[in-house]
Structure 1
Amino acid sequence: MADAATALVVDDEEMTRAIVAGYLSRIGYRTLEAETMAQAWEILSANGAAVHVVLLDRRLSDGDGLELYERMKGVPELAGIPVIVQTVSDSSAEIAAAIRAGVFYYLIKPYDGALLRSVVRAAEETTGRLRSLQGDLRCRSDAIALLQEARFRFRTPQEAQDLAIALSSVVTTGRSLTFGLSEILVNAVEHGNLGIGFEAKGRLKASGMLAREIEARLASSEHRDKYATLQVERGDGRVIFTVTDMGPGFDFTRYLSVDASQSHATHGRGIALAGMVGFDELTFLGTGNRVVGIVNLDRD
């Protein structure tokens, strides 16, 4: 990157701030530091446009770190900055509360530098993708709003994301649906048709080889004729999205909620987040190779 990316580290322990700064310096990040929410807000108010990610301790001397995050969400210039919460608590309830609030990730102390760097990189990558998705969404809403019923066939992650962009505008809450729909469509390609499991995806992401492996599998004789389908039906005050892939299925129950068992992975939360923010109902059928997402047209 031409200019160093900037991380704001909010933690009341000086040693923790120094350790995080050291970890991130290895991938070219510079850090700003704050001991309290008040100090962090001063920095964000003055330099928010320069901050790429916030590392936020959940328990600070002047309150719950999530209060700072909620305040950030109320300011358009700060709302898009990914926030990674870090804490000593591995309470599933606390993790779920943070994820429902919309934080990008939840790290449990102590963690190693490799995990932190991987999560920060993922935050930058994912935030860029979501901004692109949401920007494109605004350009495609008028015609799609007329849709009543449609069926689509797709093979690649890019086609999956294109569908998510186009079809999210079928409802007025398109921005939240964009993320949820993108997650289940990409999941149908990567995990369903191409058979890239949870552990394998973790290794490939860590080595920077995920995109190359996807391309190789798409071109292989085993997978090149596979496709997934998306059925869209609108009526009775709701829109139903049914996604079916050609894979054997998977243990979807493992990914329907956010809990401590997922805290040390850089992926695997997409399905839970899709259900929390993208759909009013999300149901997996059979072995998991078919999923039905429902959005109520009168949702807030």
Structure 2
Amino acid sequence: MADAVTALVVDDEEMTRAIVAGYLSRIGYRTLEAETKAQAWEILSSSGSAIHVVLLDRRLADGDGLELYERMKQEPHLADIPVIVQTISDSSSEIAAAIRAGVFYYLIKPYDGALLRSVVRAAEETTGRLRSLQGDLRSRSDAIGLLRDGRFRFRTLQEAQNLAITLSSVAATAHSLTFGLSEILVNAVEHGNLGIGFEAKGRLKASGMLAREIEARLASAEHRDKYATVHVERSDSRVIFTVTDMGAGFDFNRYLSVDASQSNATHGRGIALARMVGFDQLTYVGNGNRVVGIVNLDRASDGLSD
């Protein structure tokens, strides 16, 4: 990226804004600052397209920070900006409220610079991938919309992404479905067939070795013959996606929602995101190596604000 990444820091404490700006400057970010929701909205309205991430304090002098987030979601040019809520409270009810509103990154003060930087990068990575998927979706043929019943086999991350982009065209809610379908197809490869667990993925991401490890496992004797399948069944009223991998399964209940214990992690939200914005129903079967996602074709809206 030619221009510096810009973060908007919304906090009514000047010292906190300065500390956050210092943390982010170490990874080349520039920061804009706002003390209130009103000031933040003025900045977003004038330069929203140039802002890459918002760090939003939950309790501001002029009200609840989540109200600013809800307002952002109503504006197409602001809706996709990742928002990280920060607060001094570890109340489960407050965290649940933020999660229900769609905030998947929640930092409890005080936190250190390394954690802040990793969460900011993770939020940007997720949003950037969504935008890329949506851009690719627009370039694909609408012919897949004629599909009534089909079964597809895949084994690599690229094949999983390609299928997600193509198959999501069967529904009017294609943009949000692309993201949700991508998550469960990628999980089938990464966590299912290749056996890369939550903790291992965290270590590999931190060391920058995740992509290399995935390629190594795909080529290994243990994993090279493994594949996953997605079965698509479309009726006049709904589409059913059944994704099955050859892995040993996992404790899927841990990932069906996002709670306080996961809020500071840099990954692990994909299943909860898929469940909330990609599908009307998402159900894991047996030991977790099969998942069924249902999309109602009469869903009125499209996008991540569903």
Query: Structure 1 length as normaliser, TM-score?
Result: 0.96
* Residues 1:91 and 1:144: Cα distance change in structure 2 (over 3 Å): farther
Task: Give the alignment's Cα RMSD to 1 decimal.
Answer: 1.4
The 3 A distance-change label for structure 1 pair 91 and 147 is: farther
Residue of structure 2 equivalent to 1:192:
192
Aligned to 1:268: 268
Contact 1:92/1:258 (8 A) holds in 2? no
Question: What secondary structure, in the 3-state scheme, does the structure 2 residue paired with 1:153 have?
Answer: strand
- Which structure 2 residue ranges, 5 or more long, are not aligned? 301-306
Alignment of 1:111-130 (within 5 A): 111-130=111-130
Matched position secondary structure for 1:261: coil
1:11 and 1:56 in contact (8 A); partners too = yes
Match of 2:228 in 1: 228
Counterpart CA distance in 2 for 1:144 and 1:220 is 34
Q: Which amino acid aligns with 1:69?
A: Y
Alpha carbons 2:10, 2:34 under 8 Å: kept: yes
Q: How many Å apart are 1:281 and its aligned residue? A: 0.9
Name 1:156's counterpart in structure 2.
156
CA contact (8 A) 1:171 1:297 kept: yes
Residues 104 and 258 in structure 2, CA contact (< 8 A), matched pair in contact too: no
- AA of the residue aligned to 1:273: L
Q: Which residue of 1 aligns with 2:3?
A: 3
1:90 alignment counterpart: 90
| Residue 303 (structure 2) aligns with | none
Distance 1:277 1:83, change over 3 A: same
1:141 Cα offset (Å): 5.2
Distance 1:244-1:4 versus aligned 2 partners, 3 A rule: same
CA distance in 1, matches of 2:141, 2:259: 35
CA drift at 1:3: 2.2
Matched-pair contact (CA < 8 Å) for 2:105–2:264 = no
Q: Equivalents in 2 of 1:12, 1:76: separation in Å?
A: 27
Local SS of the residue matching 1:165 = helix
Q: Counterpart of 1:283?
A: 283
Contact 2:6/2:29 (<8 A) preserved:
yes
Question: What amino acid is the match of 2:226?
Answer: K
Measured in 2, the distance between the counterparts of 1:198 and 1:81 equals 26
Q: Distance in 2 between matches of 1:61 and 1:256?
A: 34
Residue 70 of structure 2 aligns with which residue? 70
Aligned residue-pair number? 300
Question: What is the DSSP-based 3-state SS (H/G/I as helix, E as strand, rest coil) of the residue aligned with 1:89?
Answer: coil
What are the ranges of 5 or more consecutive residues in structure 1 without an aligned counterpart?
none
Question: Percent of aligned positions with the same letter in both sequences?
Answer: 87
TM-score by length of 2: 0.94
- 1:31 maps to 31
Query: How far did 1:256 drift?
Result: 1.0
Report the Cα distance in structure 2 between the residues aligned to 1:170 and 1:93, rounded to whole angstroms. 37
List structure 1 segments (4+ residues) > 4 angstroms apart after TM superposition.
none
